[in-house]
């Protein structure tokens, strides 16, 4: 849960920095007005810019996941499994302790 929260928070912050489709269209329209891009090429330019942004966003997500995995934070399931093992071991120790006490009392 913490891992996913960290990833989402990080990606949200980066998402604020990325261009929206509307901004890309506005940018390309301005390039058309300035004569940098022909009007008939504009839709393809928009598509390429958006595709490139998606590629970079996915590469960034992958990098974030890899970095988070390096932290090796235990999952909720990992913690629950450890809790169960501790409970089982505690119960076993208590049983052995009672057995040992019973044996000592039988000797005395």
Q: Give the model confidence (pLDDT) of 87-104 as tens digits.
A: 999 999 999 999 988 888
| pTM of full prediction above 0.75 | no
pLDDT bracket for residue 24 (50, 70, 90): confident
- The alpha helices in the chain, defined as continuous H runs, are 2-17, 21-33, 42-71, 76-107
**Domain layout of the chain by residue ranges:** 1-73, 75-108
Contact between 18 and 53 under an 8 Å Cβ cutoff? The reply is yes
Buried b (16+ CB within 10 A) or exposed e, 38-55: eeeeeeebbeebeeeeee
Contact between 37 and 31 under an 8 Å Cβ cutoff? The reply is yes
CA distance linking residue 16 with residue 85, whole number of Å: 44
Q: Supply the DSSP symbol for 36.
A: S
CA distance linking residue 86 with residue 33, whole number of Å: 70
What digits encode the pLDDT tens for the residues 40-82? Answer: 999 998 888 888 878 878 888 888 888 877 877 788 999 999 9
> Judging by beta carbons within 10 Å of its beta carbon (0-12, 13-18, 19+), is residue 89 exposed, middle or buried?
exposed
């Amino acid at each position: 849960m913490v891992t996913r929260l960290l990833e989402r928070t990080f990606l949200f912050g980066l998402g604020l920095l990325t261009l929206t489709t509307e901004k890309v269209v506005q940018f390309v329209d301005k390039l058309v007005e300035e004569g940098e891009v022909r009007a008939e090429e504009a839709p393809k330019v928009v598509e390429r810019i958006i595709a490139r942004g998606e590629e970079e966003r996915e590469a960034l997500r992958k990098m974030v996941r890899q970095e988070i995995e390096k932290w090796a934070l235990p999952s909720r399931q990992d913690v629950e499994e450890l809790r169960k093992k501790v409970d089982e071991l505690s119960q076993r120790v208590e049983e052995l302790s009672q057995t040992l006490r019973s044996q000592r009392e039988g000797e005395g």
